[in-house]
Structure 1
Amino acid sequence: MSNAISKSQNKEVTVKNIEEFISVSKVITPEEKDLILNDFNDTYAEYSKERTLVDIFEEQVKKTPNNVAVLFDNIEITYKELNERANSLAMILRENRISSDDIIAIISERSINMIVGIIASLKAGAAYLPIDSEYPENRINYILKNSNAKAILIQEKFKEKVNQEIFMYDLDDENLYKYKNDNLNKVSNGSNLAYVIYTSGTTGNPKGVMIEHNSIINYVLYAKEQYLNEENLYMPLYTSISFDLTITSIFTPLISGNTIVIYKEKEIDLLMKKVFQFEKNSVIKVTPAHLSLLKEIPNVNKNIRKIIVGGEELKESLAKEISAMFDNKIDIINEYGPTEATVGCITHKYDSTKQYDNTVLIGKPINNFKIYIVDNGNNMLPIGEIGEICISGNGLARGYLNNDKLTEEKFINNPYEKGQKMYKTGDLARWLSDGSIQYLGRIDDQVKIRGYRIELSEIDTEIRKIKDIKDVAIIARENNLGENEINAYIISEDSTILKKVKEQLKLTLPEYMIPQKFMLIDAFPLTPNGKIDKKALFEIKEENEINYVAPNNPLEEEIVDLWREMLDIDVIGIDDNFLEVGGHSLIATKIVYKINEIYNVDLSLVEFFTDGLTVRNLSNILEEKLFASISEEELESMLNEIE
């Protein structure tokens, strides 16, 4: 059960009464049912379900062969050139018996050849499987084995992470792109797989979501119409391709004659500066965590027309602040959709003149999607009543790869439309009277961290595998910055267990899934009915494993105060390691921005992570930078004062 707290008019949705809201059936009138089914869900839009992404891309190549398809590191590649390179690689794949519904994994840093690999996989008839090159080796190999991938398109430096027999093609081998470059004969249709993306799973392992061509086409045609409805627009690609946010950033430009701008930078501060300062970027898709960094970036490109926000709840305060930066002349679009509903299925354009209830509405269903708010018995609820979001329509996933049981559990027969499936999201929401939807949290223990969907039970399972663990509780909470963080409460007689747990999780989980805080406790506090008391757990303070060392001077005191604010920790010693007390790249970026603003220095994120992971070390770096910035006249004046 989720610990998320949301407010809706005079009702407060808490752990205690979520079940009450969705288990007690509220009778819906025939008039309201008709309104929801035939008005709120009147989303029909004509498109061919037999076509594939390849069909639409190749049509665009014919229309705009000389338009720039991809810009990367000052290198441009046209639609014609991109198509020819993809054709060459696809022919090689096809001749090696790759065909429809086979799966090709892609393990690569962001690059032009990564895009070529994606398109080539589709042209060969296969589905592409994006795997983050930063994933731990164990996770990469689990995904490869579970998916039964037939081949990998990979960069040479990542081959050592693969420990199983599977054919690998080096994406940077230019010989792959010198073969036959004509369009291939079609072997796929709209019902074949286009891609598989793995998300966090409840069983302790990630699960693969299968998306067909007709589903992704439904989404990208809508996105083209709403986000990129003209040519010569630029859209940045800067996140991991294992995150389905990138579907928007890759395919929407490529079916509309526009340009993908690929960023290779890994340092989030430099990356986000480049994304938001490049004057040609006109449409940008972000998570709220990325959007919050925009407030700290100088010289922001004011040519940005649209910002699409997805992955997490969009707070009204953040939307209001960003909108004001652009004189309320920018479109901020809140896009909701689980991976199982092909990126996005509900959208809402933020209105700066409107008063929201803490978070921006997720809005109304997009083309060819139908949304139902239901109780535990899948009965439709009246307008204003809180229930579970269920999704139906052309954009649904085929199901979970090699997991029929979970597919049957989550993709049930739609009781309101014969012959259709309905996906049970686990998300809570309610209809408003105008047909908009207000998101209100989760029913279960799934959370979003920096846009990534995480099942807390997967973390729980990994920790329980470690020797000398007696019990574990993994809980998400909202910190004082309004962001979700994960806390791990561990019972063990081994006083060094926290260090062992952290080391083991680095080998098995992506960085974003590792809890920000770990606490070793003697026993779990319980409620009167015997359940774990989450509120009491939150009040337990994290004990630093290093002995506390107090600040020695005003500069260290100021840095400690900044860390306390950003990390939401009461006590921080000057020798405590930033990463050990819950820090991560986005928090580090905010700290670096603040330090540069306050002290008028040029501290980089690389310097922070290389030499500044303790307050003591960071203070030393700042002292050097501050001293170096003093002019000879100022230094002479200071020395005279001392004399």
Structure 2
Amino acid sequence: MKIESLIHSLFANNPKVYNVSGDAVDYDVLVNEYRSIKNYILTNAKEDSRVGILVNKDYYYLLTLLACMESGVAFVPMMSDYPEQRVSQLVDIASIDIMISNTNLRQALAFDSSEVETKFELSENRLLYIIFTSGSTGVPKGVEIIRSSYENFLSWVSNTFDEITTEDRVLNTTEYTFDVSLMDVALLLTKNVHFFVSNFKSNIFQLCNELEKNKITAIATVPNNFSLMAMFKRVDLSALKYAFIAGSRFPLSLYKDFAQNLPDVRVFNCYGPTEFTIYCLFKEMKIEDEDVFDGCVSIGSPLTGLGALVVDEQMNSVQDGQKGELVVTGPQLMRGYVNNKEKTDEVVVTIDGLSYYRTGDLVFKNGENYFVVGRLDDTVKISGFRVNLSDVDTYIQTLPYVANVATVTQEVKSGESRLVAFMDLTKDLSNEEIYSDLKKILPEFQLPKKIVKLDSLPVNNSGKIDKKRLKKMTHPNKLS
């Protein structure tokens, strides 16, 4: 399933693309603007050029991304509100030599709109895009994904979701700096769905209004957004049929909520690090016994053609039911971190002759299903005991009144830490009542020493719980 063939077919079959206002973009306008942007890129591109995309999130962003894909010129997505210093840093790391920004977009749109073939060989190993993830040292890591990796993903989407048709309507809510957005693009390329560009930032009322107004049938989003959607009662979401949930752990509370509040929506729990091209494991949530085990929601099994193992610290497979690190293998594995072989070698290992990516996630396997317990780097020492913070959260979320929870550490003395649990509750309870329940499910060394009740937990730009912000809230001046 070649990317360039899918894009050519898309524009030959009257694609339905809608701007952030929800208005359909005229077909002739769409085609001419697409060709102009593509020709601008090809005129300025060299064999190893990289295009930085720094335009407002509207359909122009989509057109620029598709133009790069068809032309064979790697793209590097950015957000238009990035600080100048951040942009300069990414330009330097990724060796970006062409920039499509709000400033020069008009120049690109004024270019010749005649059909021009690419001048580059579109080999399967050619770089498709670079998406940056946070680095532990503060320096972002650029994940390099080649064409064949995304083509493998496109084939999976095409073959797995036969029921999705040209009549379906997808709302693109995620910024292109997060590869979950490329699931929306995959549905456009393989199913020629109606593609709506969302103006959603963080206001859930706005998101739900867009879903209702545009009669959206499919959405790819993060658990926090979907959780709020499932609880939102003031709009009609009856058109929604498919929800692809990824980006962070699928909380047990959400598993219970969507079954009650959105019973007609087919929900897919999708798992995948940026380093493995969007998703690498998935499972449709059917409210069955195999979906939940020991307080964890299943991430299912690997996509077609991919493989997964649970391994110990020596990279040896562990038995079913035992916890270990999840490693994944297959054609969707990244080429590497751009200009950073040292970091690449830390996370890509060879097991039985195959290259595996070390996800850093602590998991266990039960039957054919994998379950995420937490992050390996979430493990801390408390009173001499090793405690995994995500593991603590998993047990706390089994309490029926806990909508969401995040446990962090607070430094109380030099070299000493205590656990602080931030909770979003569905009913008003005293800390004493909560502690009474916690003592029934957690050993003493895993018990939070402080409980902080919030109306909702803060999230970052990707929709994940913002633990850095919560950590700052544990400062002695803010939390006694």
Please report the TM-score for the alignment, with normalisation by the length of structure 1: 0.59
Distance (Å, rounded) in 1 between the aligned partners of 2:234 and 2:329 = 43
Count of residue pairs brought into register by the alignment:
417
Distance (Å, rounded) in 1 between the aligned partners of 2:284 and 2:331 = 23
When residues 388 and 174 of structure 1 are mapped into structure 2, their CA distance, relative to the original with a 3 A threshold, is closer
Question: 1:313 Cα deviation (Å)?
Answer: 1.1
Q: How does 1:390-405 map to 2 (within 5 A)?
A: 390-405=327-342
1:482 equivalenced with 2:404 (yes/no): yes
Bigger mean CA offset, 337-346 vs 347-356: 347-356
Match of 2:249 in 1: 313
Match of 1:349 among 273, 277, 284: 284
1:146 equivalenced with 2:93 (yes/no): yes
1:190 equivalenced with 2:112 (yes/no): no
Q: How does 1:423-434 map to 2 (within 5 A)?
A: 423-433=357-367
Match of 2:21 in 1: 73
Check the 8 A contact 1:268/1:585 in 2, yes or no.
Answer: no
Distance (Å, rounded) in 1 between the aligned partners of 2:26 and 2:292 = 43
Check the 8 A contact 2:36/2:108 in 1, yes or no.
Answer: no
Residues 115-163 of structure 1, C-alpha deviation per residue, up to 9 Å, x if partnerless? 111112223321111112233333222111111111111113xxxxxxx
Q: Computing the radius of gyration over CA atoms, which structure comes out larger, 1 or 2?
A: 1
Question: 1:210 Cα deviation (Å)?
Answer: 0.5
2:221 is matched by which residue type in structure 1? V
Distance (Å, rounded) in 2 between the aligned partners of 1:268 and 1:446 = 33
Distance (Å, rounded) in 2 between the aligned partners of 1:407 and 1:570 = 39
1:380 equivalenced with 2:317 (yes/no): yes
Q: Highest relative contact order (Cα 8 Å, sep 6+), 1 or 2?
A: 1
Match of 1:440 among 347, 361, 373: 373
Distance (Å, rounded) in 2 between the aligned partners of 1:486 and 1:136 = 29
Question: 1:485 Cα deviation (Å)?
Answer: 7.0
When residues 338 and 271 of structure 1 are mapped into structure 2, their CA distance, relative to the original with a 3 A threshold, is same
1:287 equivalenced with 2:219 (yes/no): no
Check the 8 A contact 1:309/1:334 in 2, yes or no.
Answer: yes
Question: 1:57 Cα deviation (Å)?
Answer: 1.5
Check the 8 A contact 2:22/2:197 in 1, yes or no.
Answer: no
Match of 2:198 among 257, 260, 263: 263
- What stretches of structure 1 of length at least 5 have no aligned partner? 1-47, 157-169, 448-474, 490-520, 527-531, 541-560, 573-577, 587-643
Match of 2:43 among 95, 104, 107: 95
1:56 equivalenced with 2:56 (yes/no): no
Check the 8 A contact 1:57/1:255 in 2, yes or no.
Answer: no
Distance (Å, rounded) in 2 between the aligned partners of 1:190 and 1:80 = 31
Question: 1:78 Cα deviation (Å)?
Answer: 6.1
Percent of aligned pairs with the same amino acid: 20
Q: What secondary structure sits across from 1:197 in the alignment?
A: strand
Distance (Å, rounded) in 1 between the aligned partners of 2:48 and 2:183 = 22
Q: How does 1:34-433 map to 2 (within 5 A)?
A: 51=2, 53-62=3-12, 64=13, 66-77=14-25, 82-96=30-44, 98-156=45-103, 170-173=104-107, 175-185=109-119, 187-227=121-161, 229-266=164-201, 268-294=203-229, 295-326=231-262, 328-354=263-289, 356-357=292-293, 358-413=295-350, 415-416=351-352, 418=353, 420-433=354-367
Match of 2:386 in 1: none
Check the 8 A contact 1:334/1:347 in 2, yes or no.
Answer: yes
Residues 38-89 of structure 1, C-alpha deviation per residue, up to 9 Å, x if partnerless? xxxxxxxxxx5xx3x2232113333x2x241444424323677544433322
Question: 1:344 Cα deviation (Å)?
Answer: 0.3
Distance (Å, rounded) in 2 between the aligned partners of 1:392 and 1:132 = 30
When residues 276 and 360 of structure 1 are mapped into structure 2, their CA distance, relative to the original with a 3 A threshold, is farther
Distance (Å, rounded) in 1 between the aligned partners of 2:332 and 2:224 = 26
Distance (Å, rounded) in 2 between the aligned partners of 1:147 and 1:488 = 37
Residues 435-476 of structure 1, C-alpha deviation per residue, up to 9 Å, x if partnerless? 1111111111499xxxxxxxxxxxxxxxxxxxxxxxxxxx99
Question: 1:103 Cα deviation (Å)?
Answer: 1.3
Question: 1:396 Cα deviation (Å)?
Answer: 0.6
Residues 299-320 of structure 1, C-alpha deviation per residue, up to 9 Å, x if partnerless? 2321211111101111233122
Q: How does 1:588-627 map to 2 (within 5 A)?
A: none
Please report the TM-score for the alignment, with normalisation by the length of structure 2: 0.78
Check the 8 A contact 1:313/1:359 in 2, yes or no.
Answer: no
Check the 8 A contact 1:101/1:192 in 2, yes or no.
Answer: no
Bigger mean CA offset, 332-341 vs 220-229: 220-229
Distance (Å, rounded) in 1 between the aligned partners of 2:203 and 2:379 = 26
Distance (Å, rounded) in 2 between the aligned partners of 1:582 and 1:389 = 27
Match of 2:438 in 1: none
Question: 1:583 Cα deviation (Å)?
Answer: 5.5
Check the 8 A contact 2:47/2:120 in 1, yes or no.
Answer: no
Match of 2:478 in 1: none
Q: RMSD in angstroms over aligned alpha carbons?
A: 3.2
When residues 583 and 315 of structure 1 are mapped into structure 2, their CA distance, relative to the original with a 3 A threshold, is closer
Distance (Å, rounded) in 2 between the aligned partners of 1:279 and 1:77 = 14
Question: 1:193 Cα deviation (Å)?
Answer: 1.1
2:337 is matched by which residue type in structure 1? Y
Q: What secondary structure sits across from 2:129 in the alignment?
A: strand
- What stretches of structure 2 of length at least 5 have no aligned partner? 381-388, 397-401, 423-429, 435-449, 462-480
Distance (Å, rounded) in 2 between the aligned partners of 1:425 and 1:351 = 26
Distance (Å, rounded) in 2 between the aligned partners of 1:60 and 1:571 = 49
1:533 equivalenced with 2:382 (yes/no): no
1:108 is matched by which residue type in structure 2? V
When residues 198 and 369 of structure 1 are mapped into structure 2, their CA distance, relative to the original with a 3 A threshold, is same
When residues 320 and 132 of structure 1 are mapped into structure 2, their CA distance, relative to the original with a 3 A threshold, is same
Distance (Å, rounded) in 1 between the aligned partners of 2:28 and 2:130 = 27
Residues 380-406 of structure 1, C-alpha deviation per residue, up to 9 Å, x if partnerless? 122222111111101111010010111
When residues 139 and 442 of structure 1 are mapped into structure 2, their CA distance, relative to the original with a 3 A threshold, is same
When residues 424 and 267 of structure 1 are mapped into structure 2, their CA distance, relative to the original with a 3 A threshold, is closer
When residues 539 and 409 of structure 1 are mapped into structure 2, their CA distance, relative to the original with a 3 A threshold, is closer
1:54 is matched by which residue type in structure 2? E
